[in-house]
Structure 1
Amino acid sequence: MAFIALGINHKTASVDVRERVAFTPEQLVEALQQLCRITPSREAAILSTCNRSELYLEQDHPSADEVLAWLASYHNLSLEELRACAYVHQDDDAVRHMMRVASGLDSMVLGEPQILGQMKSAYAVAREAGTVGPLLGRLFQATFSTAKTVRTDTAIGENPVSVAFAAVSLAKQIFSDLHRSQALLIGAGETITLVARHLHEQGVKRIVVANRTLERASILAEEFGAHAVLLADMPQELANSDIVISSTASQLPILGKGAVERALKLRRHKPIFMVDIAVPRDIEPEVGELDDVYLYTVDDLHEVVAENLKSRQGAAQAAEELVGAGVSDFMQRLRELAAVDVLRAYRQQAERLRDEELGKAQRMLQNGASAEDVLAQLARGLTNKLLHAPSVQMKKLSAEGRFDALAVAQELFALDEGSDKSAQ
């Protein structure tokens, strides 16, 4: 039995290679079944995200080369190209790797929570494909349990480390109840999409998306139940907005001091929280000089993110210790399971020998032998049969000079070295 974790990630492979090694959701079931059919893998699961593609396997004996060859062939890559950026972890190291990944310790953004959900999806797909058995199944459950402990017992994921989340977190500090706030989002790119998602999750009901093209703004607005407008309509929306967050590709400011002054008058100087995430800036720096305006730039947010990253890095050591404990606990339970299998086989053998001797004793009684003779023969026969195989093996071990194994046998049978002397 051997566990293997094999793959590539953002640390070892370029975006181009990661894209080529990625599995689409439609490919996964067929790929898993093919993987188990072509390679020596008895159990398998595949985790494929934008930052990593990893295979989690259980095999009789470690055989990573055949799996790498399959992976290269499946994605039409040269084996040399894949081998140059792939990593392979076995047994304890494979278990540790899976638990670190699920806990966000191996992510591009330390402590990010999405990876645990992605790993749970990988497990669900492998179960659907029929490629997860008892061993890999136990490993996944132990991995999820450890990741949950890391999330619960450390601050690894508490503080925001994305600019979008930091912007929303600052808004929460200024407005105690975001449910009553209206947000104006300028732009419709990836960062604004993340901002919209975070605001929506925080309960902001009124969100307006302003963009150069109404079509792009409408697509984003529809996702979060927001309202889409053109940039030209910003002045009217500005007066109703408590939160303004901007991130466009404009080379010149699109929101000036005069427009904000007019909005403040209409608002009767009710405060506006503004975040300019764009580089170059979307909001004129002079806007920050106005009373009742809280203006933050992307540099301000980076300071928040950097501080929060320090906090996460401090929690990472505690998280690593929890992962280490999770690995030790899982491997110990796995070794105990191996002992259970041996004990079960030994008990079955002993019960078979018992039944044989019991059958002989019953026949002796039927033939008229005395109960005393039958019991003596039963005890003698059962003792001889139980001791026969161990006696033969220990003599063989002694002849081969394997005295360490003899010492283990003495411990296994709980033999007191002085017992023979005391009996004499």
Structure 2
Amino acid sequence: MIQLIGLKHDVKIGIREKLSIIPKHQEKCLKALLNICEEAVILSTCNRTEIYFKSKDENIISKIFEALNWDKTLIKCVFNYKEEKAIQHLMEVVCGFDSLLLGEDQILGQVRDAYEAVKASKTTQKELQRLFEKAIACGKKFRTKSKIGDIPVSSSSMVVKQAMGRGHKNFMILGYGAVGELTSKYILEGEIDLLYIAVRDIQKVNIEDPRVKIIPFKDIHKYYKEVDCVISCTSAPHNVVHLKELPNKYLLLFDLAVPRDIEEIVSENPLYEVYDIDKLGDIHDDNYKRRECSMKNNRYIVDEAIKEYIEWKTIKEISSLIIRIKHNGEDVCKERLDTFKHKKETKDNEKLAEMLLKSTSNAYINRAIEVLKEEHLKGRSKECVEIISRIF
């Protein structure tokens, strides 16, 4: 049975931090899950933690919390979907229907990365493998057909637009992973004066733009006074922006990380305006209605993908019977072919072929008649007649 546990939408960031799985811990967590599940995939982003898994155990949530060393008192903060509902949820997630920023374009890559991670560790088998491949294909098709990419939206684009709309021209980005790189792209498309990018290893980032300065992460406190806006998006398991290190001036700060990068106490100081992931939804977006309309008109792509996967999964349940039928057919064919080879020199080939073809036909027709008689005597002929009528 395919199942899913994920964080409820109304769970505050303080709780989400406790149930997040940062990249460097994912492999260890996957191994722990495989002790209690047949297959597992972890999808962990700045705004969601979801675990897709296959298990017959309908009361497995407590075991998952134990395996991941999560506080069991927080079980009330997660939902548990099974079978079709879990399948539907993933298809909606990959197309951006379940995102805080409707239709945001980063989630497809995040789902693909989650799947690639488990492919390397071999924690998926046929059902989850097929599900994620179908979901990724669905996400690509949805973006192509809906042209949602023509109405760009991401946490990065939203915060940069908000900052630039206020006239800020001096920026600092903390972290240069996928989100940091995308954020810098949006910033450099605008009319800015300066962009600091703070990284652990300055040799790993090379941007040929006179407005960009790469700085060591350990020195970020030295440059705060030179910027108007700080955008933090690291994968650190702890705070990296501390109140005591901030300058005595107004700063606009965006925290796109989970766990949070910015100390909670910073938002209590009137000098600093702080937006974390929970507050991003408050930022007005003029493109929302356009995205909503485009996504609604192309919802059928999601429904088709769900239907196709469920049909595949249902047919898979009788795959062993299908294989047996094929093997029986091969046996019947081989037996007649051997007869033809042995008798073709001594018999009239035309009559021999007619006899063998009729024998092949009778092998199935006679068996169908026998089954029909047996089912009729048991009072179950109606469905049997319907099936045999469709075959013949």
Measured against the shorter chain, the TM-score band is 0.5 to 0.7
User: Hey, what's the Cα distance between the residues in 2 that align with 1:24 and 1:208?
Assistant: 27
The alpha-carbon distance between structure 1 residues 9 and 194, as it changes in their structure 2 partners (threshold 3 A), is: farther
User: Hey, what's the Cα distance between the residues in 2 that align with 1:377 and 1:390?
Assistant: 20
Contact 1:5 1:97 survives alignment (8 Å): no
Deviations 1:204-261 (A, max 9, x none): 785156xxxxxxx976996752588767778xxxxxxxxx668998999769xxxxxx
User: Hey, what's the Cα distance between the residues in 2 that align with 1:302 and 1:51?
Assistant: 12
- Normalising by structure 1, report the TM-score: 0.61
Give the 5 Å matches for 1:65-80: 65-66=59-60, 68-77=61-70
User: Hey, what's the Cα distance between the residues in 1 that align with 2:318 and 2:46?
Assistant: 41
2:259 is matched with none
- Normalising by structure 2, report the TM-score: 0.65
2:40 is matched with 44
Give the 5 Å matches for 1:170-209: 170=165, 183-185=169-171, 197-202=184-189, 207=194
The alpha carbon displacement at 1:71 in A equals 0.7
The alpha carbon displacement at 1:97 in A equals 1.0
1:165 is matched with 160
The alpha-carbon distance between structure 1 residues 309 and 232, as it changes in their structure 2 partners (threshold 3 A), is: closer
2:327 is matched with 348
Contact 2:372 2:385 survives alignment (8 Å): no
1:25 is matched with 23
- Give the one of 374, 383, 386 matched to 1:396: 374
Give the 5 Å matches for 1:10-21: 10-11=8-9, 13-21=11-19
Which stretches in structure 1 are left out of the alignment for 5+ residues?
A: 175-181, 210-216, 235-243, 256-277, 284-300, 415-424
1:308 is matched with 287
Q: Which has the higher helix share?
A: 1
Give the 5 Å matches for 1:336-375: 343-360=322-339
2:111 is matched with 119
Identity %: 20
Task: Work out which structure has the larger RCO, using CA pairs closer than 8 Å and 6 or more positions apart in sequence.
Answer: 2
User: Hey, what's the Cα distance between the residues in 2 that align with 1:102 and 1:140?
Assistant: 10
- Give the one of 93, 105, 108 matched to 1:101: 93
Contact 2:96 2:105 survives alignment (8 Å): yes
The alpha-carbon distance between structure 1 residues 111 and 356, as it changes in their structure 2 partners (threshold 3 A), is: same
The alpha carbon displacement at 1:401 in A equals 2.7
The SS at the match of 1:32 is helix
| 217-226 vs 396-405, greater mean Cα deviation | 217-226
- Counterpart of 2:388, as a letter, is Q
User: Hey, what's the Cα distance between the residues in 2 that align with 1:348 and 1:121?
Assistant: 39
Contact 1:361 1:377 survives alignment (8 Å): no
The alpha carbon displacement at 1:124 in A equals 0.8
2:363 is matched with 385
User: Hey, what's the Cα distance between the residues in 1 that align with 2:154 and 2:26?
Assistant: 31
Q: Is 1:35 the counterpart of 2:33 in the alignment?
A: yes
Give the 5 Å matches for 1:400-411: 400-411=378-389
